[in-house]
Structure 1
Amino acid sequence: MTLEAIAAPVRTTPPQPLRHLAFCGIAWALLLCSAALLATGLLAGERASTYDELQHAVASGDVRSVVVTGGISESFRGRQGVTVHWREGAIGHQATVIEQHPLRWTVTPAGLPVVYSVERDLAWLDPDISVERRPHDFPDYYEVHGWRLPQWTSVVTVVLGLGGLLLLIAGPQPRRATRWAWFWMMSTAPPLGFVAFLTLGGALSPRPRPDLGRRLTGGRAFLLSIVVGAALSAMATAFL
């Protein structure tokens, strides 16, 4: 054995703590569950639309069947709100319309359209339109960015949010921003802020690296999250 071999230090890679591996697994689980929740929201959710949009879609042949929940019988005199559900491609839509017997107005003071019945009104646009009448509305729901989602998705959202908060507090020091900065992004601009924390904060790596340069602070992140949240809401309403 040569003297150089004896003098040369042996470099060994220190074992990664199990704590980092555990938090990395939690981060990947949260990211995959978030992606599944977003896909479920697009498929099972409904976009808040208008009855005018439905009429244009029926007249152009893009919609051939609708579901009406609620309503009144032929012998009933008065008016009642109903909800019309339809799909255009993979996106579900819903709109509110008033049915009135006998028909006296075409619009309410609040701006809602008034018809005698959805079946009769849509038949003028497409005689072959299929209208299914259900006595009650769909199960409980909650709305986010103009979308009506099944109520169970709110429970999953809370669980994912708590998991992300635990990862933020007890996990490794996040990259690119402080813990307070990521907290404001996650809470004020969901779901983009939540996904950004998982993908850009270094939580997905079992070997988190130190930051190079300055990090986003809490105050600036709070202002940025307000702007991003408003932009997300506008984009969801305009394009989805």
Structure 2
Amino acid sequence: MTIAATEPQASYDEWRTRRWRLTSLTFGLLWLVTAVAVVLVGEKQSDLSSLAGSLANGSVTRVEVVGLPQDPDWRGRQQVTLKWRESVLSRYAVVTVDTRRNPSDQWDGDQVNGDLEVHLRGFGPEPDITYSEATGFQEWRGYRGPGWVALLAFAAWLGTGLLVIGGPEPWRATRWAWGWFVLMAGPLGSLGYLLLGGPLSLARPKDVRQRLTGGWAFLIALVFFGGANAG
């Protein structure tokens, strides 16, 4: 792999000045707050089979059903969301419920024909099932949460990108290289830049002239993160 050996335009020690240290710590703390918010109120996408397994082994005892009509005489097909909590993160699964006399199986994804509550209780020890109305959320790469969490993440990501553009010359990779990582890898690229690119001044390289170029960084980001962005 080719590594650029050009002399950086600014002193790498500039990251150690109070101005850039405080700026970098601010964005680092913003990412930390975002991560905590995702754990506390965010949800990770899952499926009905995972919920069934957790109900069967007793690790899940409470399920929230979102968006299902509560009229006992209701007949039709409705897409609902099942929510439950496992270990650290909450999970959700989108399921189609069909209560018609002649339900259709021509549907992609998880489907339950008949009474959803009876179906869930058939997986194991009777869970505590609650019902709620659908609310707004923001979704990204299999995770979703309230709009304010998305706003926090966007602010942290945008701030990190501006730091790449306007901050001192970064370590280990050029501005273009770190820019591709931040753009295509999102939180992972941003975290890598803050920890290894100079902002938080961790593990300063011995030879600051050896840096990954933008072309190679683009290819690496495309291979490892391009598919996730496309999805």
TM-score range relative to shorter protein: 0.7 to 0.9
Q: Which residue of 2 aligns with 1:61?
A: 58
* TM-score normalised according to structure 2 size: 0.82
Kindly report the root-mean-square deviation, in angstroms, between the aligned alpha carbons of the 2 structures.
2.7
Query: Which residue of 2 is the match for residue 93 of structure 1?
Result: 91
TM-score by length of 1: 0.79
Deviations 1:26-76 (A, max 9, x none): 101111221221232133211111112212211221211100011122212
CA separation in 1, counterparts of 2:208 and 2:16? 23
Contact 1:168 1:179 in 2 (8 A): yes
Q: Which runs of 4+ in 1 moved over 6 A?
A: 16-19
How many residue pairs were aligned? 215
Q: Which runs of 5 or more residues in structure 1 are unaligned?
A: 1-15, 235-240
8 A contact 1:23–1:167 mirrored in 2: no
* Distance in 1, Cα, partners of 2:104 & 2:167: 58
Secondary structure of 2:211's partner?
coil
The aligned residue for residue 43 of structure 1 is: 40
Would the alpha carbon gap of residues 186 and 90 (structure 1) be closer, same or farther in structure 2, given more than 3 Å must change?
same
Residue 198 of structure 2 corresponds to 202
Q: Percent identity?
A: 33
Which deviations, in whole Å up to 9, do the C-alpha atoms of 1:198-240 show, x marking residues without a partner?
111112249x888434211111111111233258x59xxxxxx
**CA 1:212/1:124 → structure 2, altered by over 3 Å: closer, same or farther?**
closer
Mean Cα deviation higher: 124-133 or 215-224: 124-133
Give the letter for the 1:34 counterpart. W
Greater CA radius of gyration, 1 or 2? 1
Deviation at 1:87, TM superposition (A): 0.9
- Check conservation: 2:112, 2:119, Cα contact below 8 A: no
**Aligned partners of 1:114, 1:106: CA distance in 2, in Å?**
10
Worse overlay, 16-25 or 68-77: 16-25
Q: Match of 1:66, as an amino acid?
A: V
Letter in 1 for 2:219: L
Q: Distance in 2 between matches of 1:17 and 1:200?
A: 15
